Amino acid sequence: SQKYCHIGSAMVSLVEPAPVLPVQPLLAALSGTETGSVFMGLRTRRLGTRGNSKYHYYGIRVKPDSPLNRLQEDTQYMAMRQQPVHQKQRFKPLQKVDGMSDSLCGSSQHCNSTPEQSVAAQSQHHQQYIDTSHTLPPFPTPDLGTMPLPERINMNDIKKLQTLYRDHCEATLDVVMNLQFHYIEKLWQTFWYSTPDDDMEGVIPREKLVALCKYEPIRLWMRSCDHILYQALVEILIPDVLRPVPSTLTQAIRNFAKSLEGWLTNAMTNFPQEIIRTKVAVVSAFAQTLRRYTSLNHLAQAARAVLQNTSQINQMLSDLNRVDFANVQEQASWVCQCDESVVQRLEQDFKVTLQQQSSLDQWATWLDNVVSQVLKPHQGSPSFPKAARQFLLKWSFYSSMVIRDLTLRSAASFGSFHLIRLLYDEYMFYLVEHRVAQATGETPIAVMGEFSDLTSMMPSLMEKGKTLILV
């Protein structure tokens, strides 16, 4: 006797390998309890607000070549979307995935898969590169101080908002962890649009939600929660900035980053400007971080090849030995006022590290040590963030002077140096951002939100799909 699983009101997520569903499932329904007893270890997660929720299952998936894939996609769209056709176009099918063509197209029928199947199979493949073990850290409680509560708002409303917002953030995290970026827009709309006016359990009437958002302690509290959420999302999506990932995943993350601000402002139309501004600032910092880290990752992959090539390293060494460092120091010292002995030591260290044909990871450690040494005197001082930013500027100024010298000499290794310089600048930025976060007890996302002038300083690489041309 065949068991069927009702998926009409459920989202079947594409997470872990699991039993294959039969083709007829929609004909016979099985209650949630029965589903759990048929598919052991199945977990559910609620999406959306209480009272307006969709459940989806963990640990269950449909075989990529099953005709159910179309059906299931349709079910998901019905459950989550109002305008399926319009929305669907946004998720472009990707024909080929780096390094996985064999596993996907080994048997020929897999190659004739539908776009939905490609996307599903690809998400699954991509999940090995993200950190799916991450959980959402606890949120703080709102600090109301002595601010009086807004009219017709009581402590129960605040408690309710805390619960609902936490649920909402957990749902956002789940969707991102499943690489179902296309659901985020709907999820946000569900939270911000669909709060009916009646005061049901688990629902905040729109009027009250607006009043709460206007209330300063709640606005600041929500910002802190968002910092925690988006920091977690960064760590999930890019757990190791230097680890190679498929370019299709990078592209998916970049497209996601590009859409975020629009999705949020659309979902929050008619909410007070202040709360929109606050939330958009955090989302922009998040998008910015994703762009920077994916650029960093892209540069790292390109640089690995250079750093492993003995003939290129030798060329770089011989070119670097011709650089007039005395002249560089003379010109830079007026601007940077760096200690000459420190600069000389860094120059020597750099050459030795290059000579040793260090791997990218060894270079990463070297850069980390440089940051530690330079910022050590400022440890524990309130001037730490400022000193850290000054260091970035100086580092960048010096490296541009060296590149300038190499350019004027038409150095054969110019291309390699250019790449290495972009990578090291970007990695320094990454390191410094984390040091500042550590020193101030904030998340790096919060640091970037606050010091937005810092972010406009760095080259925005790879914009609009630009790729690097290597020599």
Ligand X SMILES: *[C@@H]1O[C@H](CO)[C@@H](O)[C@H](O)[C@H]1NC(C)=O
Q: Which residues of this protein are in contact with ligand X, per CB under 6 A?
A: 309, 311-312
For the CB of residue 409, give the shortest distance to ligand X in the complex, in Å: 18
Tokens 């120059």 locate to 347
For the CB of residue 78, give the shortest distance to ligand X in the complex, in Å: 51
Closest CA to 238 of 284, 291, 282, 185: 291
Q: Which is nearer to ligand X, 107 or 311 (CB)?
A: 311
For the CB of residue 20, give the shortest distance to ligand X in the complex, in Å: 44
Helices and strands of the chain, counted as H and E runs: 20, 3
In this structure, the number of other CB atoms found within 10 A of the CB of residue 67 comes to 12
Rounded Cα distance, 325 and 256, in Å: 43
Q: Which is nearer to ligand X, 316 or 343 (CB)?
A: 316
H or E, element range at 47: strand 43-47
For the CB of residue 319, give the shortest distance to ligand X in the complex, in Å: 13
| The two three-digit tokens of residue 173, written as one number | 């995290």
For the CB of residue 245, give the shortest distance to ligand X in the complex, in Å: 21
For 358, list phi and psi in degrees, rounded to 5.
-65, 150
**What residues form DSSP beta bridges with 378?**
none
For the CB of residue 14, give the shortest distance to ligand X in the complex, in Å: 38
**What residues form DSSP beta bridges with 58?**
43
Rounded Cα distance, 55 and 264, in Å: 23
In this structure, the number of other CB atoms found within 10 A of the CB of residue 304 comes to 16
For the CB of residue 316, give the shortest distance to ligand X in the complex, in Å: 11
For the CB of residue 399, give the shortest distance to ligand X in the complex, in Å: 22
For the CB of residue 67, give the shortest distance to ligand X in the complex, in Å: 46
Q: How far is CA 89 from CA 21, 92, 342, in A?
A: 27, 6, 55
Q: Which is nearer to ligand X, 270 or 311 (CB)?
A: 311
Q: Which is nearer to ligand X, 304 or 421 (CB)?
A: 304
In angstroms and rounded to an integer, the radius of gyration of the C-alpha atoms of the chain is 26
Contact between 447 and 458 under an 8 Å Cβ cutoff? The reply is no
Q: Which is nearer to ligand X, 312 or 440 (CB)?
A: 312
H or E, element range at 386: helix 384-408
Report the amino acid identity of residue 223.
R
Q: Which is nearer to ligand X, 311 or 456 (CB)?
A: 311
Q: Which is nearer to ligand X, 191 or 417 (CB)?
A: 417
| The two three-digit tokens of residue 362, written as one number | 């060894």
Residue of closest CB approach to ligand X: 309
Question: What DSSP string runs through 276-294?
Answer: HHHHHHHHHHHHHHHHHHH
Q: Which is nearer to ligand X, 295 or 315 (CB)?
A: 315
Contact between 71 and 116 under an 8 Å Cβ cutoff? The reply is no
For the CB of residue 411, give the shortest distance to ligand X in the complex, in Å: 13
Residues composing the chain: 471
Q: Which is nearer to ligand X, 87 or 312 (CB)?
A: 312
Q: Which is nearer to ligand X, 309 or 390 (CB)?
A: 309
Q: Which is nearer to ligand X, 6 or 421 (CB)?
A: 421
For the CB of residue 248, give the shortest distance to ligand X in the complex, in Å: 24
Rounded Cα distance, 456 and 2, in Å: 60
Angle ∠(135,136,138) on CA atoms, nearest 5: 125
Rounded Cα distance, 469 and 219, in Å: 45
Contact between 256 and 182 under an 8 Å Cβ cutoff? The reply is no
| The two three-digit tokens of residue 20, written as one number | 């294959």
